[in-house]
Amino acid sequence: MLKLYKFADGSKSYWETWEDDGVHTIHWGALGTRGRSREVRSFFFKKASDTVQKEIDQKMGEGFEPIEADDHATLLIEFAVNGMGSNTDLEKRHRLQERMDETLGWSGLGHCDGGSIGSGTMEVCCYVVDFDIAKSVIEADLKDTEFGNYTRIYREGEMVS
């Protein structure tokens, strides 16, 4: 998977591509939105990988570039649990991890990287390219769901208020 971003002139955009079983998917849009996507397939004299590479070169020429993993913000979604948490809590965390991978991935914001549970809290950890947009998207996504009872969404290292 290749993810490229362009933050310029007051707008933030993403463009990404991945290959699965010879079919290349290209997905793009304004950061924080579901965007659009299309598939690129090989034909007799035209390889999908060549078509995709031309688009990559074009996007990079337009100023799109990757964001290094170290430049992602660590966003945590926290829930209160009793003690070390229950199997039900753990199952809920796993469902939320899957949901966040979908939500963040399809909005160009990042991905979920697991979580933790114990000592009265349960957290889901996400790596995101823009903390503020990701927090807003997540809050909207979780509203009126089984996950709407989170205690806070915060940046790793942020002081508790």
Q: Where are the domains of the chain?
A: 2-61, 71-155
Angle, helices 131-142 vs 87-106, to 10°: value is 120
Q: What is the structure's pLDDT at 160?
A: 61
CATH classification code of 2-61 = 2.20.140.10
User: What are the tokens at 44?
Assistant: 């007799």
Match domain 71-155 to its CATH number in 3.40.50, 1.10.10, 3.30.70, 3.10.450. Answer: 3.30.70
pLDDT score, position 153: 98
pLDDT digit string (tens) for the chain, length 161 residues: 999 999 998 999 999 999 999 899 999 999 999 999 999 999 888 899 999 999 999 999 999 999 999 999 999 999 999 999 999 999 999 999 999 999 999 999 999 999 999 999 999 999 999 999 999 999 999 999 999 999 999 999 876 65
pLDDT at residue 46 in the model: 87
